[in-house]
Structure 1
């Protein structure tokens, strides 16, 4: 038989149950008394670059330490470059010599060289005249029986040799006056271009032996030490962009429509519970993160969540670090009823 005390406890239990249901309805999605905010937990992330060398080699030096701030383009580490530097110097010397030869061909022969060729031709003409006179004299003497046939043959050979030398001197003078052939100049230009291409290829190889900062950032991890042999693509340093950090949270499907790009947010962390950092919504995923991506019942559809990135806009001291858990409160555009 139910006593009076039991009857009095039943209404109290009902009221407590109703209060629990009401609290769950109001606060289950992170809505406080104002009903205009969405609260979600996530993790701080940042743009990071894991930097390595395209080529395999021995690490000669690493010029930064963990925590150092670096500027875009700064040299952070490099492999042994002695052999490649020597090859570059050799290729550059080849370029210098090829360019000098091309310049000489384009300018043609010097006036002094042309004058020397003319003088050589004049000398050849005089030798021809002397040889002809000697030949004519020897011929007359031979007809008079004053010299032998052998002497006549020698005079004839000397005349022929002098005429041949004059022909060569004439050809040499014509070549100098005309200058180098166009085909030879073009061939030399091609050799110069080939030498310059070799220099560019070696310079590209040297660039692959150096790690440079891809952006302004902070060195967060030093994976290797000088003297180690590293394979191509192996991370040597990790650099973080401190101005590009965000908190990744997940919003239920039934609350997604109230979250807009650019919406203001407040970020807190367990490490610094009394500090609040401003932020704004920078990205809303277009597809649900969980599978299956399409379900049939209403009860299951509301369990789908969408990734949302909230950019950290007011943490110049870099208090919020990648990997740190954080809570985000977003001001909704039109809170659901």
Structure 2
């Protein structure tokens, strides 16, 4: 190979030296940029959300499922309709029993009115018979007969009043039975308890669900959080409610505001999927970084759980977030 002239060789070596220095400087600058200031700690995690099952309270056949996997649902939205044919028959029978009991009550009330009228008449006749005896114009036998009739009528009134009381109790029982069946029919219409997305469709029309058997599993998109693991020296400085930031791998330059909602009271080993083996050999504490519900509710159509990222926590309230964590997602940009 032909040798380069001395001057040109020095120029090439200089260029290479400058490139190496620039590379080292860039790595140093990048490392310093990614460093966290004193008072802020971090840990790897992933966005998670609580799950909610839409389940049957009693064994009924699935009549209709109104959503598919991936659909976004709102609280109170009807998701599944169960077959209530047998319950509706029971309700009709309960309503008929209630009507018969109410009719029995009306008869008892009418009987009481009649008995009270007869008591008034028997009282008048008994009093008249006593006056006649005192005047010597009547017999004691007539007084005894009238008095006996009055006592018999009073006994009949007491019996009618007892029947009336029983009828009222029977009406309350019949009403409660009808209301219970009506509630069971209402429970056969399964509604969404949360704002979320259908994760699994676990049943199809025609299947009979067991008591408590789920028809759907929903992801609650208003209850979003990230769990991270910190060593004892860092976790001991964390307080509930401490300010937090969450970032996801696909958009590391934007952060999600949050707060510490849980700090485990017990140490544990870091799960396998979080860190390297050497890191897992250390005891750590689990923290839960919660995304505010009002913020999560504005992003329900964009939230994807399971995405990996990093969670940051202020252990010193006076610490300042680095510039890369100050580009915070807010509700105002939710519609963009």
Partner of 1:197: 176
Take 2:188 and 2:243, find their aligned partners in 1: how far apart are those partners? 44
- Does structure 1 retain, via aligned residues, the 8 Å contact 2:112–2:161? no
C-alpha distance in structure 2 between counterparts of 1:64 and 1:215, whole Å:
14
Q: How many residues were matched structurally?
A: 251
2:236 and 2:156 map into 1 onto residues whose CA distance is 87
Q: Distance in 2 between matches of 1:57 and 1:109?
A: 46
8 Å Cα contact 2:59-2:208 kept in structure 1: yes
Q: 1:200 to 1:84 in 2, by over 3 A?
A: same
Measured in 2, the distance between the counterparts of 1:91 and 1:273 equals 63
Partner of residue 13, structure 2: none
Alignment partners' CA distance in 2, 1:50 and 1:181: 53
Residue 42 of structure 1 deviates from its aligned partner by 0.7
The aligned counterpart of 1:225 is 204
- 3-state secondary structure, aligned to 1:211: strand
Query: 1:329 maps to which residue?
Result: 312
Contact 2:82–2:189 (8 Å) recurs in 1: yes
Alignment of 1:91-110 (within 5 A): 91-108=94-111
Structure 2 residue runs of 5 or longer lacking an equivalent are: 1-27, 122-145, 271-278, 320-336
CA contact (8 A) 1:31 1:37 kept: no
**TM-score after normalising by structure 2:** 0.62
Task: Judge conservation of contact 1:31–1:38 (CA < 8 Å) in 2.
Answer: no
1:228-307 to structure 2, matched below 5 A, reads 228-290=207-269, 303-307=282-286
List, as ranges, runs of 4+ consecutive aligned residues in structure 1 with deviation greater than 6 Å: none
Pair 1:67 & 2:71 matched: yes
Which structure: larger Rg? 1
Moved more, 249-258 or 318-327: 318-327
CA RMSD, 1 decimal: 3.9
Q: Separation in 2 of the partners of 1:285 and 1:227?
A: 45
1:79-120 Cα shifts (integer Å, max 9, x gaps): 210111111012012112212321331243677xx79xx9xx
